[in-house]
Structure 1
Amino acid sequence: MDRQPDSLPKLTETNGKSPYPPLQNPSSTDAEEEKWDLGWLVAVTRRRGLLMAGVVVGTTLLAGGLFLFLTRFTRPQYEGEFQLLVEPITAEEQLARSSTRAQGADVDLQRINIEQSSLDYESQIRILKSPKLLEPVVSKVRQKYPDITYENLIKSLKIARITSLSSDKKELGTKLIEVRYQDTDPEKVKFILDKLSQAYLNYSLKERQSTIRRGIQFIDSQLPPLRQRVDSLQQQIQTLRQRYNISDPEQQGKQLIETTGRLDQVAADNQSRLAEAEAKRDALAQQLQNANPQTVLGTQATSSDNTSYYQTLLNQYQQVQAQIALESSRLQPEHPAMKELMEKRKNLQNLLKQEASRVIGTATDSVSIAQARSQAVNQAQAEINQRIRQLSTITRQYTDLQRELLLATDSLNKFASRREALQIDAAQQEIPWELTIPPRLEADGSGQPMKVNSVSKVRFLALIFVLAVLLGVGVGFLVEITQDLLYSTDDVKRSTKLPLLGVIPHNKFQFPEVSISVKEAFRSIAKNLRLLSKNHAPLRSLTITSAEEGDGKSTIALKLAITAAAMGQKVLLVDADLRHPKIHELLDLPKQPGFSNLLQSDQDIKNLLQLPPNYTNLMVLTAGNSSLDLAELFTTNRVESLFQKLHAMFDLVIFDTPPLLRLADSGLVAAQCDSLALVVRLGKTSRPSILATLEELKFSSTAVLGMIVNDAPETASSIQSYYHLTRKS
């Protein structure tokens, strides 16, 4: 915990704050923290040194012995290698070998990307390790080395793609495959690598030729259907042309459209002529009906190019009409000459009527001719439109056939071109893989085969020792962290951030016998308490407790009470641990009646106090009936007055209470006391328990004076009290 509680009960003169000075500097410097960390490391190393050393020695002996044993029976291994270039590295080579992908002779050299790989290296390496490819090699090698099998060959065979690092530290794959083989016989390694290299080159050649043959066979199987398709489409086009008597549907369509335009113009002109002829016929008929024939003939004579006959008749009629008018003035109608003239006029009138009728008939014939011409034009237009509609269907069929013919012809040409390229490539019989590094053995500077499994024993043993040291240190600190106990006063100060009231050395004697260092330690604690009471508010009562059972709080409470009494104070020791009381056992006193009886009923305190033999100024109040619940006893109203009486009767009242962790008893007693001291046993008290205890005390009103360290290896003379230093300063 980082700070002390801010208040103590029963001390009204302090305005609710603790009357005691700060027990430590709340701000720790970086140098102190670093010193504590280094001290903890040294302490852990000292405590776990034997374990660490045992792990180091055991690991070194075990691993080193195993290494020496294995190296003694390990036969030397030799390794050889060869490298294969499995893809072209230049654009020219890639173009030369591109026929395996049936690109033909029209491959654009500028479009070849030599950085990209078309080979699946992982699959290719698996093929190179497959039994189908290696079994023939094993059969050849077995003739010289009968013990060779596919299984032991593949165990010692390593095939991998060679990689490189780019400028930006990225791993890039090359077009090289490296093949390595290990064995105890260098000649065997060289022999097997020779057979493997030859087998892989033969495989590449066979695979290439097989690929080319499969390509040619596929193309040969596709060419006849393509030719038949082309011929069939050409025949369909020819049949379509012959059936509809067309050579080019598109051109013929243009001609029909032009003819349609001309017919439309003719139809328009004929329609105008028909209307004109009908109008003329109707006009002449109306004139013949409403007037005399002369008017009709006069109109016809003025509008016709052949006017001689019409004019002659009109002239004769006019002459006869004039003679009749002239002779009528002197001749009678019965006169023969007049009758002759009248007869002649009548004949001329009949001729004029006949001619007028003929003229009207001619106009009617013109109308009929115009109508017939319109019908002919309309029929021609209908026929042209029918042909146009028919031609659109024919054109669509013709276009579809032409497109299919173009695609089929293009496919036929491409297959023929690729077949020619494959035949040229097969004739070249080019091996696509090349040996960039022939089979060879790893050799030293003198050219002798080099052992690949030779290891420097000194270096390896040194490495084993270093690893053993690291393992030993790790095991030691792991055990330390797992147990997480407090082992030194520095651990206590670093974990609790509280001062040490005193450090009790380990006592090898049984109570009541103690060593001199233990006596001095308790005198130092008692002196600190007296100095605290002298310089500040009187310390009348003190709770001695611990976080866990077995930390020695009861013994420390008893010895502190004895020491304070020996130094002249009137001291009362109260055994408030009703769960596991021990004070009466240590002093050989009766347990009942005691503290629980005093809380339970109004009894005289003096009747319950016991005076232990051989001790002055010391009175003891034992636990009493331990079956009672202390929490229930503290609910009575007499508790506060009881503690006031005890404070008035004694200079110092020390309470031995149960452990604080997960129990309410100690908190109830401590709340009635001036302060509390927490006992820690080194090597036994765990850090989590003491931190949990301090966390619980944050929520109480009890002031924690500090820590009392029990069972410490240090002597009391090595501990300088905080209060002693404060007084000197």
Structure 2
Amino acid sequence: MIENYPSQPSNSDRSNNSAPPSFQNQQNQLVPWAEEEEEDWSVQKILGVLRRRALVMTGVTIAVMTIAVISLVLKQKPPEYEGNFQLLVEPVNDDSKEVDVVKDSNSQMSSLDYESQIQVLKSPELMRDTLKKLQASYPEIDYYSLLDSLKITRLGETKIILVSYRSSNRDQTQAVLKRIAKDYLDYSKIRRQTKLRQGLQFVENQLPFTQNRVDQLQKELQFFRQNYNFDNPEAQAEQISSQTVELSQQRQAIDLQLAQARANLTSLKEKNGATAMLNNAPLYQQLITQIRQFDVQIATESTRLRDKNPTIQTLKEKRASLLPLLRQQAQQLLGAKFAEVEIQLQTLEVKSQELTKIEQKLAQRRNQLPILIRQYAELQRKLQFANESLNRFLSIRENLQIQISQTELGWQLLQVPTTPEIPISSSDTLRSFVLGLVASIISGVGIVLLMEKLDNAYHTVDDLKRKVKQPLLGNIPFEQQIQTKQNRTSKQIFSLSRIPNFLSKKIAKVSVLPQEEQGEYSSNFSEALRVVYTNIKLLSSDSPLHSIVISSAMPGDGKSTVALHLAQIATAMGQRVLLVDADLRKPTIHNLSHLNNLWGLSNLISTNLPVGEVIRQLPSMSKLSVITAGPVPSDPAKLLSSSKMKQLMIDFQKTFDLVIYDAPPLVGLADASLIAPHTDGLLIVVRIHKTNSSILKIALDNLKIYRLNILGIVCNGQKTNFNGLY
């Protein structure tokens, strides 16, 4: 497993954590249920959770089982004997319907209220005689002690009542059950006789009322049919529907005729319309023809005679005499046509009004039809129900009379009182122990599943791939050698921190820690790093990546150690690699690489120190160049956003084949977002069982806002057996 080297928080982290307010607000909203997808609780996943948290489940199970055993020991009672008997309280042929006038004759449900019957069987009034007979042999028995030991229940959904009694004396148990069984059978005979007589009396009282009800409903139905001429709802509906269609057709015809009449009247009132009508009149056209003939004759004679000639004057007088006749004929024709059109219009309007009245009456009938149908159906339903009630009462009366005349039987004893030879306490103890064991296991599983639900970390690579929509560039397995080495390094740093100031500075000039060769790690671990390096190289085959930023969503995910070992792998592959510790808040690279941190990146940015003064090679790999963070500055974000830093990054990229920047965590700090835009992309390290999924989601959302190039995700610390894959 790759893990960040622990370091003490610096004062600058508390004073210069200049995260935007949006980051802080998002951190306050971290809840375990912030995932975008609903978790799929498959059987395989549940088994994986139980296997991973087996220790917790075992502890909870043992604790709950211990409490159950202690409680069982404290509550253990002396041995007791329990006996019982069974009573059939209703006939199996369902003749109970003969005495139940409320119950439907077709119903097969029980008519007995078992809960109320059981309370009656436990009542002091019914138990009085039983107690007197029992106290003669067992004076210690009273009503309350008997009730505490007596249990009366219904056997499932059957017609059988189970009566059980428990005591520490076997003979007493047997005697009590026999006495109660006999008294209950006697009670049932008296109860049945009383019930039959009461039922018959009730039926006799209800018959006249039911008969009167039937007669009244028949009269109401007859009056309804006569009053509304209503025999069949379907026929009434069809009749109204056909009348509606017929009236609709008549309405369309009348409306068409009215429109045509109004159009004719309007046309007559206009000049063109009157002219057209006169042109179709024969007499008017004859007068027009004669006038035109006189005009022709006058024009012909005028060519050879003067205007005062008697012939011309005679023709003009004849023409003038025709004009009054023409006007008189026109007026007569127009008046007659106007009168004809107005009479037609009035006739059509009268028909329209009559049709409207008929339509209103039909609409009223149509609106009233549902009410009439409902009333008709209600009357029929009431009459049917009344007839059924009358028939049922008559049938019940006959059956009751037959039952009373026959031998009356009460409840039947299906199982005589029995008392076991072995006390029941041992079986109860075993049952309680088994129930406690089951409850403890369920509690352990429940606590484990609850912890898993509240846990907001990624526990498998599949969860990470399903919930994070980013490319997974590698899966680095857990490596025990790195864990042991880093723990030892942590102790050495702590011991150095206790050396006086003046000595520690002298030691730092040489090396913070003793030089130590890189350990031999497992092949799975080394191969996983090579896979990450290869995937990064293949991301852009046309233009190879020259600089990347490695960061994580939160501290402790292993981003610094991934950066160091990835740089070593790239160097071993023949690349000229520069590893830059850009974490100016909690620098770690110098501890992991066993280099001093006297001069570093902060000096390069803030002073005119030459680059060659701060570039060093690892003791175990001389071709790998490293720039440590240097002294922690007061404002890291200001240095990383300076123009000097941008120029240094350009120079680094020109000099080396690959530049790897180890940046602080993404959430809450702006450092990685300041340097990432000047590189080829950002690599995010996610640690299994540790990285908070809500924090990672916030980091990815912020990177989308900044529009930074995310190369992918590296999964760190997967404790899966990779052996035997090839």
The structure whose RCO (Cα within 8 Å, separation 6+) is larger is 2
Query: What TM-score, normalized to structure 1?
Result: 0.49
Higher gyration radius (CA): 1
